[in-house]
Structure 1
Amino acid sequence: MGRLKRKKYHKGNTYVQKMFRTRRKTKDIDQIHEDMKPEKADKLLNQEVDHDLPGAGQNYCLHCAKHFIDLQAMTSHFKSRNHKRRLRALTEEPYSQKEADAAAGMGSYYAPQKLKKVKTQPIVKKDMDTTED
């Protein structure tokens, strides 16, 4: 009996590996902190109707940067583990250039501070039946 041949079916398929690595890419925490600023948050929560987005772009979770089909799906998302985990991650101070410089040896490093507790956005029922003739 000889050695069994090892099969390397996926060797060299780097394009497949890269595709799977970037498929579920979402916004980073510091980008969401920028979106949570009042002027930008107001704009994101009150978007115009866009039929290319799920739910015509009317049901948007600001903290997770996701669109939902309807209000019921969004409210069930607010109770989910993933949303609560994201809220907990948003309580830390966002990554900044000052922190990057300190990590590179240019200055003193201070641990990121805890921010105030982040609450889930208020649910606003929007009337989508209003169409102009």
Structure 2
Amino acid sequence: MGGATRKKNKTNHREVSRRAKTKRRTKDVDEILEMLSPENVEKIKNRDPDPLLPGDGMHFCIICDRYFISAEALETHKATGKHKFQVKRVREGGISPKETELFARRGLPDNGRKIVRDENGELIGFTD
């Protein structure tokens, strides 16, 4: 006769996958646009070599926030779909503060001009 079977716990697997997701998370568009300001771009281009980073930190993709070993690796990265998708996200722009409030359901949506009707329900005009 067999003994009681052990209960199977999958929590460890779940924790590992969560850590991997947060490790691979890309920056938001707002953070990327902040990095693309002229002062930050100059700082990144003129920084000293760092031996702890890949390629001494000299080959860096600002849009994807990744370091590469060589200039060839950086160029091949720029031809990939992930880089092109990030470029597309940045070109579309970030979320405005007004949109942020709408998504958080704090602000009122701008539905345009209101229709004004009289007591009989006939159209009078629009509000400004």
- Asked if TM exceeds 0.5, the reply is yes
Question: RCO greater where, 1 or 2, for CA within 8 Å and sep 6 or more?
Answer: 1
Question: 1:106: which partner in 2?
Answer: 107
Retained in 2: the 8 A contact 1:33–1:90?
A: yes
Match of 2:46 in 1: 46
The structure whose residues are more often helix, as a share, is 2
Which structure 1 residue ranges, 5 or more long, are not aligned?
111-133
Higher strand share: 2
CA RMSD of aligned residues (A): 2.4
CA contact (8 A) 2:49 2:58 kept: yes
Q: Provide the residue aligned with 2:18 in structure 1.
A: 18
Does structure 1 conserve the Cα–Cα contact (< 8 Å) formed by 2:63 and 2:86?
yes
Q: Secondary structure at the match of 1:43?
A: helix
CA distance, structure 1, for counterparts of residue 55 and residue 26 of structure 2: 19
Residue of structure 2 in register with 1:64 after alignment: 64
- Answer whether contact 2:35 2:41 (CA < 8 A) is retained: yes
Q: 2:91 maps to what in 1?
A: 91
User: Does the 8 Å contact 2:68/2:74 carry over to 1?
Assistant: yes
TM-fit CA distance, 1:107: 3.3
Q: Percent identity?
A: 32
- Deviation beyond 6 Å, 4+ runs, structure 1: none
Rounded to whole Å, the distance in 1 between the matches of 2:26 and 2:93 is: 19
Query: Structure 2 length normalisation: TM-score?
Result: 0.70
In structure 1, what is the Cα distance between the partners aligned to 2:25 and 2:100? Answer: 22
**Contact residue 61 and residue 67 of structure 1 kept, 8 A:** yes
Answer whether contact 1:99 1:109 (CA < 8 A) is retained.
no
Largest Rg, 1 or 2: 2
Q: In the aligned structure 2, how far is the partner of 1:109 from the partner of 1:72?
A: 48
Q: 1-side partners of 2:51 and 2:67: how far apart?
A: 12
Distance (Å, rounded) in 1 between the aligned partners of 2:89 and 2:27: 13
Task: Return the alpha-carbon distance in structure 2 between the equivalents of residues 40 and 89 of structure 1.
Answer: 20
Shift of 1:86: 1.0
What CA deviation, in whole Å up to 9, does each residue of 1:4-29 have, x standing for no partner? x8x7352x325324322212123221
- Whether the 8 Å CA contact 1:32–1:63 is kept in 2: the answer is yes
Q: Distance in 2 between matches of 1:16 and 1:80?
A: 27
Aligned residues: 105
